[in-house]
Structure 1
Amino acid sequence: MPPFSPKKKQSQDLASFGKIPLAVAHNKGIWPQARYQHVLVACARWESDSIAEWLSYHRSIGFDHVYLYCNDDDPSALYEAVLPFMMEGQPFVTFHHYRYTGEQLQMYRHFLRHHVHETKWLMFLDVDEYVCLPGSNDIRQVSARFGGDHDAIYLNWCGYGHSGHATRPTDGVLRNYTMRESGASPFTKILAKAGAVSYRLSYENQHVAIHHDLFGLGAPLRACNMLGESMEGYYENFPEKAWSFLNAENRRARLVEAGYIAHFNIRSEEDFDRRNRRGCLGDFGAQKHWGDKTAEERAAYHAHTNEVSDSYLKDYWESLIGKARAGIIIPLADWPLLSRGKRATQSSTLHEGSRDEDACRAVSGRLMGRPQHHTALEDNPWWMVDLGELCHIHEIMIFNRLDGVLERLSSFRVEVSHDRFFWSTIIDRQGGPVFGGLDGTPFIWRDEAGVLGRFVRVTIPGTGVYLQTDQIEIFGRPFSIEEFEAQIKALREAV
């Protein structure tokens, strides 16, 4: 048998264009085994600054692959931003560049032609949209719950407002936007079985927005919303019929409680005009109206999309980021460090230099695992730091030496003063268990309310004893002039 001609293969591939996914054509009409369970298909333009957060979030809720279509003029910035997601043994991202601005549906059809066979479930999602699943945070539960009786699950939009930002914050989306409209809105995105999104019908009906509605393709479809209600006919006479449906039976609120698409559409005052600058060609043509809005229309949009406070996504994201503390070596304080580099003194020294020079080594900010300051053998030796101003003292960490005689810090007293004449004891430790320091086990005292003081003094009670530590760290916040004025006002009113 003569070898298969590349030209003949190309001819056959072209013959199947617009009719059948390429891999299915190569496999004699049989769909290959899917590699993924749940994937996202996204078109991204001007999204390099937020793409890593968007990818990480959706990976955390169970999506196992993303087909990312870069629509930037130059793909380099977005490619660099997602490079870590493509360097694994099983990359999380498949990256394509499509240079014709706004041809979003053509990118989706490219996916249907080349990749749809690789997954069981898919969703077309923009990078300013986040799938929010209150309670479960797991897309797999959605497909498991509805997939037995349905081909597709429609998730309604819920628009998030700019939360008062004049310009976009540089540290991500989820932690900065907590204001949204009061309930679900008419547009939807769809979690669909791969076989329910017909490449052929999409090619033949190129006007159908398959990312919002699949009924427009004309094929039989079993679809529901996140309440399990049928979505057949939902997009007829849109959006009037959809609004009537949503406004009935408290459905707007119930859909948000069940699961929705958080749409971060306008993230700052400048975003109205940014939409136009990004480009309004192709399927982006409808974006032009954002830049044309008057000041009154912009204010009305802000009022609508900042109606209620909702920190669910922020809290979820911070719970993920908070796991960074699980691997911390030295405990992280809950307040700013006040004592580093401040003036200090002590009752005596065994080290070279003055008492002050020796005492300051305890607030140098460098952990060594050995005594960095050391008093002489004396009665009730003490060490003191001047924070430089009156402060709310919330937390103190004392790092013990680790090279021996750790028990010397089994007993100590910590006092706080405004003026070095009148002292208040906040810690009186007598014969406590041994603690460490550089190893990650320093002594820690915390007070949520805080104690006012400028000077902090540590004393070892007893006759003929030493005082030495590795570091002493004091955390809190300065006492503000506003607080001082408020206290004076309260005293005057009391009199």
Structure 2
Amino acid sequence: MPPSKTPNAQDLASFGKLPLAVARNKGIWPQPRYQHVLVACARWEADSVVEWLTYHRSIGFDHVYLYCNDDEPAALYEAVLPFLQGASPFVTFHHYRFQGEQLQMYRHFLRHYAHETKWLMFLDLDEFVCLPGSDDIASVSARFGADHDAIYLNWCGYGHSGHSKRPSNGILRNYTKREIGASPFTKILAKTGAVSYRLSFDNPLVAIHHDLFALGAPLRACNMLGESMEGYYDNFPDNAWAFLNADNRRVRLVEAGYIAHFNIRSEQDFARRIERGCKGDFGAQTHWRDRNAEERQAYHNDTNAVTDPYLSVYWKSLVGQSNETTLIPGSIWPLLSVGKRATQSSTLHDGSRDEDACRAVSGRLTGRPQHHTALSDNPWWMVDLGALSHIHEIMIFNRLDGVMERLSSFRIEVSHDRFFWNTIIDRQNGRVFGGLDGTPFHWRDEAGVLGRFVRVTVPGIQVYLQTDQIEIYGRPFSLVEFEKQRAPNAVLT
């Protein structure tokens, strides 16, 4: 729930001292609602916020406190609207109109919401928590939480991957180039009690999103290798670089878990960083404008040094789960049979045998028999694919309005010329299968079978052949490939 806008005198007296809910509860911290949350302020991020939210929910964060720092909140609010719905929304949304006051937004969170979570992390929308091998933030808190109050995750900068302008379809799938290893700045997964609201209020310039030791309270903190981080930010960044460059630590930290920082995503981003605004805590951003062509190229060289597809592969795998929702499986090969000429041994329907047979390759499923032979011995159906082809996959969609057992036995043959036939399927008394319901008969051959004509026959005396659809997938015949398969060591001239 959003914080009350009508505080009483006691609430105001506790400002700068305690989180509001703790003050109202006589100093006792309530039980948290969440285990791991993100706190983020966003400006000009409406095009990437959904990907960022979805990714972090997928690795186990159970809530996000999102502060919109745009001049007008409507665009970002609309983008995250699905995450704001329901009794337990994933996002708590606030508009904060004072540009660049990042630390004030963080303190607003600490004042009004810190009591709601056990662990928190301040994270920007160009940063993604990358946990190779686990993809689970709970594994980090479980591993280090017993002995530590905070876990520091180093940045690793990702480059523009050669993009002159930002791709329109997201970050993770499009950027696979990064620097060699970890860089000095960190973000922190911390127990809520380790991020003191009072000390942050009393020390307003301390960058609590990067370092908590600067608040002055006792702190047990480690990096993703379990090493103490006390003193890490002393004489920054010189001491940090020395630490990272020893013992192959830069590479080892990236292997253990890090913050993927997608800072400059295109050639246009140098100017975009300035156009977005450099007020408040973003005053240092002006250095991007001042870089000359040589300095920009050096930055690209550093941040595009190695290829790392881990996040891209993870995201594609996550999105690829959409295929599991498919009611009727498709094929990786083109559909060769739709709309092609067909014929059959006889018909019970109006029109010619050819007209009836072609209904089996119309491309439209109905659940009913779209073609139907007369009662006869060994009825057959045949399609002409129009050219010699590599046939890789065949699906037969049975009628679903009754007598499905009529297709318990059938034979499928392939021919180059309709005279010589090669049997590729000989099904005898197989189990009943469906079709439009998502359970068609399915045959697949990775190597492929060469042929132009495909014939389906139901063996038996005085039987019928009828289907809803017959789909044949494959690819055009390749003479070069055929010759290689026939004589792998031969040289074509």
Whether TM exceeds 0.5 here: the answer is yes
Tell me the SS of whatever aligns to 2:274. helix
Structure 2 distance, partners of 1:385, 1:213, is 70
> 1:288 offset after TM fit, Å?
3.4
**CA offsets, 1:226-268, max 9 Å, x none?**
1110111111222222122112112122212221112222333
Count matched residues: 490
Correspondent of 1:171 among 169, 172, 189:
169
With over 3 angstroms needed to count, the CA separation of the structure-2 counterparts of 1:184 and 1:483, relative to structure 1, is farther
* Corresponding residue SS for 1:448: strand
Tell me the secondary structure at the aligned position of residue 47 of structure 1.
coil
**In 2, distance between residues paired with 1:91 and 1:11?**
31
2:11 matched to 1:13?
yes
Deviation at 1:412, TM superposition (A): 2.8
Deviation string 1:406-457 (CA, Å, 9 cap, x unpaired) is: 3332333334456656654433334433322123221111122334555433
Q: 2: distance between equivalents of 1:484 and 1:165?
A: 40
Q: Matched residues in 1 for 2:205 and 2:149: separation? A: 22
Q: 2: CA distance between counterparts of 1:423 and 1:308?
A: 54
CA distance in 1, matches of 2:132, 2:379: 57
Per-residue CA distance 1:334-381 (angstroms, 9 max, x = gap): 444343334433343221123333222212233222211112344544
Partner residue in 2 for 1:128: 126
After TM superposition, give the deviation of residue 391 of structure 1 in Å: 4.7
Q: What is the aligned partner in structure 1 of residue 88 from structure 2? A: 90
- Structure-2 separation of matches of 1:440 and 1:160: 43
In structure 2, the residue matched to 1:467 is 465
Identity %: 79
2:35 — aligned with what? 37
The Cα offsets for residues 98-143 of structure 1, whole Å up to 9 and x where unpaired, read as 1222221221111112111222211001112111222222222222
| Match 2:264 to one of 251, 263, 266 | 266
Which of 439, 442, 452 matches 1:441?
A: 439
SS in structure 2 opposite 1:276?
A: helix
Structure 1 partner of 2:97: 99
Secondary structure of the residue that 1:53 maps to in structure 2?
helix
Is residue 346–residue 379 contact of structure 2 (8 Å, CA) maintained in 1?
Answer: yes
User: What residue number does 2:246 align with?
Assistant: 248
Question: 1:193 and 1:442, CA in 2 relative to 1: closer, same or farther beyond 3 A?
Answer: same
**Pairs within 5 Å for 1:304-453:** 304-387=302-385, 391-417=389-415, 424-453=422-451
Q: 1:418 to 1:173 in 2, by over 3 A?
A: farther
- Supply the distance in 2 between the matched residues of 1:188 and 1:452 (Cα, whole angstroms): 59
The aligned residue for residue 22 of structure 2 is 24
Query: How far apart are the structure 2 equivalents of 1:291 and 1:359?
Result: 68
Match of 1:118 in 2: 116
Q: Report the secondary structure of 2:229's partner residue.
A: coil
Aligned to 1:191: 189
In structure 1, distance between residues paired with 2:72 and 2:346: 66
Which structure 1 residue ranges, 5 or more long, are not aligned? 1-5
Deviation for aligned residue 1:77: 2.0
The 5-angstrom pairing of residues 268-283 of structure 1 reads 268-283=266-281
Q: Which amino acid aligns with 1:289?
A: H
Change (3 A) 1:400 1:69: same
Whether the aligned pair in 1 keeps the contact of 2:484 and 2:490 (CA below 8 Å) is no
- Partner SS for 2:327: coil
Offset of 1:297 from its aligned partner? 3.9
- Which region of structure 1 is more displaced relative to structure 2, 150-159 or 393-402? 393-402
How much has 1:312 moved relative to structure 2?
Answer: 2.8
In 2, Cα distance between equivalents of 1:281 and 1:481: 65
1:197-225 Cα shifts (integer Å, max 9, x gaps): 12222223322221111122222221110
| CA–CA separation in structure 2 for the residues paired with 1:307 and 1:107 | 35
**Aligned residue for 2:236?**
238
- Following superposition, the deviation at residue 478 of structure 1 comes to 4.9
Change in CA separation of 1:263 and 1:393 when aligned onto 2, cut-off 3 Å: farther
Q: Over the residues paired in the alignment, what is the CA RMSD in angstroms?
A: 3.2
CA distance in 2, matches of 1:99, 1:192: 27
SS at structure 1 position matched to 2:35: strand
Matched, 1:73 2:71: yes
Unaligned runs of 5+ in 2: none
1:445 alignment partner AA: W
**TM-score normalised by L of structure 2:** 0.88
Identify the range of structure 1 (407-416 vs 357-366) with the bigger mean alpha-carbon deviation: 407-416
1:200 to 198, 201, 205: 198
Change (3 A) 1:365 1:270: farther
Distance change >3 Å, CA 166–CA 358, structure 1 → 2: farther
Identify the match of residue 220 of structure 2 among 219, 222, 232: 222
1:181 aligned to 175, 179, 182, which one?
179
- State the SS of the aligned residue for 2:189: strand
